[in-house]
Amino acid sequence: MAVHENPQQSSGIHLPPFRRHRGAPVSTVSAHLDTHTAQAYALASLRILTGFVFLWAFLDKTFGLGYATASGKGWIDGGSPTKGFLSSVAAGPLQSTFHSWAGDAWADWLFMLGLLGVGVAVMTGVALRLAAGAGTAMMALMWLAEWPPAKHLSDGAPSMSSNPFADYHLIYAVALIVLAAVGAGAAWGLGRVWARLPIVRDHSWLR
């Protein structure tokens, strides 16, 4: 269902106008403004860094920058972004499923487009709800692939899992959801411009 809103309004956290509220002490107003501004900038920092995690993974896997992906093994060199990771899954209920997906073209394309889309959207502050949904789905699948609850791998070796539940995939997913929930795309981002687009005003899920 389309949601129509006043075009004068925009979503997200905005820096408040620096004007004195009638009847409020100057110190109280100043403290409120400072707190609101600090929150907006803190969330903007979290948003940009979280988005860069996804964008960097895309760039490294595409061009083989020599970090997680060795030089000459990038996607543009004919390497598969999913084959190494999925074929090495050694625990969890979906082990055989992930092995069958490893290196498939559809898996490579979905994974890379997901990294690029989530990275760009979150860093620029647009389509945060879509990015949160896609990013959470990716993190859930990667969590299942690594399967932190396992103490041992399928060959009996220790899994070296540091936490059976709250690993970094969960943290990234929660960060994406929080950023989308508070509309953290306005400060240091294009959230306001994006929210003014007619199609976005009419379809709140695009926010």
Query: Tens digit of pLDDT for each residue in 44-54?
Result: 999 999 999 99
Residue 121 token pair: 């959207």
Out of 9-13, 148-152, 171-175, 178-182, pick the least confident: 9-13
Q: Above 90 in pLDDT, residue 86?
A: yes
Q: Report yes or no: 22 and 29 within 8 Å, Cβ to Cβ.
A: no
Q: What is the pLDDT of residue 35?
A: 82
Q: Above 60 in pLDDT, residue 79?
A: yes
Out of 10-19, 81-90, 106-115, 166-175, pick the least confident: 10-19
- Give the residue-averaged pLDDT of 168-196: 97
- Give the residue-averaged pLDDT of 5-32: 50
What does the pLDDT look like over 5-18, one tens digit per residue? 443 444 454 444 44
Calpha distance 128→56 (Å, rounded): 18
- Give the residue-averaged pLDDT of 60-89: 97
- Give the residue-averaged pLDDT of 126-154: 97
Q: What is the pLDDT of residue 36?
A: 84
Q: Report yes or no: 110 and 142 within 8 Å, Cβ to Cβ.
A: no
Q: Report yes or no: 186 and 40 within 8 Å, Cβ to Cβ.
A: yes
- Find all residues with CB under 8 Å of 100, minimum gap 6, and list them: none
- Give the residue-averaged pLDDT of 118-123: 98
- Position 110 confidence tier, pLDDT thresholds 50, 70, 90: very high
Calpha distance 4→171 (Å, rounded): 33
Q: What is the pLDDT of residue 175?
A: 98
- pTM for the complete prediction? 0.83
